[in-house]
Structures are given as C-alpha cells and as structure tokens.
Amino acid sequence: MPRASSRKGPTNSTASGNSSAVDLFRAASGKAASKELERIDQLFYSYSSNSCGMIDPEGIESLCSDLEVDHTDVRILMLAWKMQAEKQGYFTLDEWRSGLKGLRVDTTLKLKKALPDLEKEVRRPPNFANFYSFAFRYCLTEEKQKTVDIESICILLDLILGSVFRPQVDLLTQYLKIQSDYKVINMDQWMGFYRFCNEISFPDLSNYDPDLAWPLILDNFVDWLRSDRA
C-alpha cells in the first residue's frame, strides 16, 4: 500500500493565528483610513463656509494664502481638475475628499508639497487634453451657458498654454482682442486652439489646410497672420 503522506496541514491554532493577524491588519488599515478621512474632513471645515456648506471663493483665497500661491496660479485650477469640481470658485465636501484622497494628503502642508507632483500629473499627455477641456467647462458659470467671453479665453490661453506654446498664444490672443467677428468662444473653437498649437507648424503654417475641419475663427486667424507677413 502507498505510504500516507507525512506532511501535515496547518493546525487549527496556526490557521486561527493567521486569521487573527489578517483581521488585525484589516482593522488597523480601516482605522487608519478612517482617521485620514477625518483629517481631510476637518481640513475642509476649516475653509468651508457655514452658510453654503462648501469652500467658497473666500475659503479658496484663504487656502491659497496657506499654500503660499496666488489664487490665479494654474495649480489651483489643476487642483479643481483633480477634484472634478463642478462649480467655479466652490469645492463640495465630496469633491474635496476625492481630490485629497487622490493626492494622498490630509494636511495643508502635505497639499502644498503635493502641488509639484500634481502639475507633473496634469502635464502628462493623456491628462493634459482632459485638463484643457475641463478648464473651459469650469468657466461655464451659468445654467445652460455654452460659451466663454473673449477676455476670459485670452486669460485662460495664457494660463494653460502660455508656458508651452508662447509664440502661438501671444499671437492668438492678440488676434482675438483686435478682431470684431467673435465676442464669445465655444467648446469646439476652444479645442481647435489646442489642436492648432499641437499640430500646426509655427510660425510658417506650412501644414495648415483650411479645407480640413478647422473652426472658421482659426481660418481667419491664419489669414490674418499671412496678410500681416505679406
């Protein structure tokens, strides 16, 4: 007869010990997560307004002061993107929780130290187009609003694309300010600016084809550039 295996399975006491260790680990992890969320919430309430239950523009200015950044700093817009904030100048508790948990921070100091990494995250190609689109939507402050005024668009272009596409942004904003055909910009035109900066050879414009699906405002912009150089 074949001999019975001499290897023994885990004893009940060993299995019980392993189970207890796992339970303790889970309990400790859950407790740590709960404490982290508690600190995130406490931080929220230190900036939020009692009247609206959100962090309002005044609270955001206070946050910016503690982070030692200007409220117009592009990283504050990036923070709003990280939270997927829906209303400009306001952060809800759920948005705040989502953003800070995503950044793995629960204090103002940690948030300040996380800003450079947040900027790197946004600047990565897969994220930047999403951020650029978000910035336009974030400016739609009224119900059913679908366009943004030229002045605000020029500020946004400089803030978001200026550090990467300075020559294009300078000339585009110059054109937008002197032209009289458009008072507002829609999402299709906004995304067209981004595509233009990424795809068109500048300043020679050699690969710009007006027969392709470019917004008319960009056809006019290119005509303005070429006539100015003629």
pLDDT in the model for residue 29: 57
- Residue 3 above 90 pLDDT? no
DSSP string, 87-123: STT-B-HHHHHHHHHHHT--SHHHHHHHHHHHHHHHH
> What's the predicted TM-score (pTM) here?
0.84
pLDDT in the model for residue 198: 96
| Confidence bin at 38 (pLDDT 50/70/90) | very high
pLDDT in the model for residue 34: 84
User: What is the 3 state secondary structure string of 26-86?
Assistant: HHHHHHHHHHHHHHHHHHHHHHCCCCCCCECHHHHHHHHHHHCCCCCCHHHHHHHHHHCCC
The answer for residues whose C-beta is within 8 angstroms of residue 73's C-beta and 6 or more apart is 64
- Residue 51 above 70 pLDDT? yes
Average pLDDT of span 92-118: 98
| Confidence bin at 229 (pLDDT 50/70/90) | confident
**Residue spans per domain, the chain:** 27-123, 127-229
Is residue 227 a contact partner of residue 219, using CB atoms and an 8 Å limit? no
> Can 27-123 and 127-229 be said to share one CATH topology?
yes
- Residue 227 above 70 pLDDT? yes
- Of 2-11, 113-122, 201-210, the range with the lowest mean pLDDT is 2-11
- Residue 101 above 60 pLDDT? yes
For the stretch 172-177, contacts whose Cβ atoms lie closer than 8 Å and that sit 24 or more positions apart, written own/partner, are 172/221, 175/221, 175/224, 175/225, 176/150, 177/150
What is the rounded average pLDDT for all residues in the chain?
Answer: 91
- Residue 25 above 60 pLDDT? no
Average pLDDT of span 204-230: 94
Cis preceding linkage at 203, omega within 30:
yes
DSSP H/E element including 222: helix 216-229
- Residue 128 above 70 pLDDT? yes
pLDDT in the model for residue 40: 98
- Residue 209 above 90 pLDDT? yes
Q: For residues 226 and 23, which has the higher predicted lDDT (pLDDT)? A: 226
Average pLDDT of span 86-113: 97
127-229 is a CATH 1.10.238.200 domain: yes
Which pair of structure tokens corresponds to residue 76?
A: 């504050």
- Of 14-18, 37-41, 198-202, the range with the lowest mean pLDDT is 14-18
Average pLDDT of span 47-66: 97
Name the fold adopted by 27-123: Recoverin; domain 1 (1.10.238)
| Confidence bin at 194 (pLDDT 50/70/90) | very high
